[in-house]
Structure 1
Amino acid sequence: MNTKINSSTKRYGLIGKNIAYSFSPNYFAKKFKNLRIIAAYDIFDLDKIAAIEKVFKIEHLNGLNVTIPYKEKVIPYLDNLSNPAKEIGAVNTIQFENGLKIGHNTDYIGFMDSIKPLLTPHHKKALILGTGGANKAVQYALKQLDLDCAVVSRTKDKADYTYNDLDKNIISEHQVIINTTPVGTHPDIQDMPNLPTQHLNSNHLVYDLIYNPEITALLKAAKEKKAKIKNGLEMLVLQAEAAWEIWNKQ
């Protein structure tokens, strides 16, 4: 952003590592322009989470987003957590209120509100691919939607199934499949999780949290089997909107 910083400028930003690619700065720049707000949204690319202490000292700081790899590591630097953030164990939004730094999780809101319109009565069970940070927010959202879920990973340490376990019966039993791994993200767009997509059909909903590319190799394979598909762009927009509401609630 080219916003000139002065005493009336509201400051927002994103905490993360290697985040020059981020969606957030352009998104919020457009929002500030549309709302005619004097505000700046900065990237804080931190080598270590301890450097967040310097960010907290910036004047007129109204709110922060947090992305990988700091969604869990940021928690000890905060004064309080919302109930969802506590249960999920990850923070992607920081609110400053009455001198306190409060951690929230809006990832689950973005996911929940973007998948809810696509669900039909036969969507009763979900398979979540991956055990990383995004997995926790997705599990929390599915719990709110009363969907049973099972987790798939390369090893069984934190999962119900390994990819090698997946067969026609398991795929048929789980009508919702959610990829929370980074496999298939630009530039490695030919890659996809080791899912036996030949067992997918028109009863399945396949949701990939990746938004670049718009149609991942996984979604392409699912579409060929007539499954309903969804990428992660709307989730990203909705979690950003939820963060904005938290920062600006009266």
Structure 2
Amino acid sequence: MRKFGLIGKKLGHSFSKKYFTQKFEREGIQEAQYELYELPEAQALKSLLQHETELVGLNVTVPYKQDVIPLLDELDEVAAKIGAVNTISISEGKTKGFNTDYIGFKSTLEEFYPQAERKQALVLGTGGAAKAVWAALDALQIPYRSVSRNPDPAKQELGYDELTPALLQSYNLIINTTPLGMHPYTDTMPELPYEALTEQHYLYDLVYNPEQTLFLKKGAIAGAQTCNGLDMLYRQADAAWAIWNE
């Protein structure tokens, strides 16, 4: 039996087990199992690997995408550059970290955000998921500013109180990388002057449960184009599966 799974702190929101279990059934993949592993801290990965000796692949979700890095034997070049890991391969007792969030986000953004419309982006949040988004924006040559509850002036980050209606007119792509709006806290959303959004704005939310967050609902009411993280989830999962089967 080959085992795969997801590690994180709270996994009640996750679609990963359902996605991979259905994939195994649909494609007739035998002797494969996908489980959810809630860990109280990233360090618990070591004991998990000791006890679950059949594990050959793991996905990593919040808040451990950066915390797992020192625990791994090796890092893929892209993951090292990004500074965050969401996929781990396990072979002969050795672990290697990858970042397939980058692959999933970049490909979906290219389809959602037309070349002719591209201006500047605001990235809400500065955690592990944001790091993959920054790398993709750099690769697509889309200028951006990050927004944080505790902005770092040295990194030219913005605070939410700086997001004025006038400023939003200069940034027509807004990407939410925070967990705000994620199940079960569906009544939360990033603090934005939503009334300043227009039909020229593009809102991308990495959250996929629920499929329509308050962030996206308010954008849609203003006429903005919206995209959730579901396609990104599928594509990063498929990229992880390819890595585990190399």
Report 1:202-221 matches (<5 A). 202-221=199-218
Q: Cα deviations across residues 144-175 of structure 1 (Å, max 9, x unaligned)?
A: 11111101122322652212112233211111
- Give the gaps of 5 or more residues in structure 2: none
SS in structure 2 of the partner of residue 173 of structure 1: coil
Q: How many residues align?
A: 241
Q: Report which stretch shifted further, 224-233 or 55-64.
A: 55-64
Q: Give the ranges of 4+ consecutive aligned residues of structure 1 lying more than 2 Å apart after TM superposition.
A: 48-51, 54-61, 96-100, 154-160, 186-191
TM-score scaled by structure 2? 0.92
Counterpart CA distance in 1 for 2:184 and 2:42 is 27
Match of 1:102 among 88, 96, 102: 96
Secondary structure at the residue paired with 2:207?
coil
Moved more, 118-127 or 151-160: 151-160
Does 2:118 correspond to 1:123? yes
After TM superposition, the score normalised by the length of structure 1 is 0.90
Secondary structure of 2:117's counterpart equals coil
Partner residue in 1 for 2:2: 10
Verify: 1:42 aligned to 2:35, yes or no: yes
Alignment match, 2:130: 135
2:174 counterpart residue number = 177
Deviates more, 1:144-153 or 1:91-100: 91-100
How far apart, CA to CA, are the structure 2 residues paired with 1:163 and 1:21?
26
Contact 1:79–1:101 (CA under 8 A) maintained in structure 2 = yes
Residues 77 and 187 from structure 1, CA distance in 2 versus in 1: closer, same or farther, beyond 3 angstroms? closer
Amino acid at match of 2:102: Y
**19, 28, 46: which one pairs with 1:27?**
19
Cα separation, 2, equivalents of 1:166 and 1:10: 48
> In angstroms, what is the RMSD of aligned CA positions?
1.6
Cα shift readout 1:185-229 (whole Å, capped 9, x = no counterpart) = 223323221111111111111011111222111111111111100
Distance apart, 1:111 and its partner CA: 1.1
Q: Supply the AA of the counterpart residue of 2:138.
A: K
Partner SS for 2:169: helix
1:51 correspondence with 2:52:
no
Gaps of 5+ in 1: 1-8
Q: Which residue number corresponds to residue 185 of structure 2?
A: 188
SS of residue matched to 1:43 = strand
Q: CA deviation at 1:97?
A: 4.0
Secondary structure class of the residue paired with 2:231 = helix
Structure 2 SS opposite 1:30: helix
Partner of 1:151: 146
**Seq. identity, %:** 46
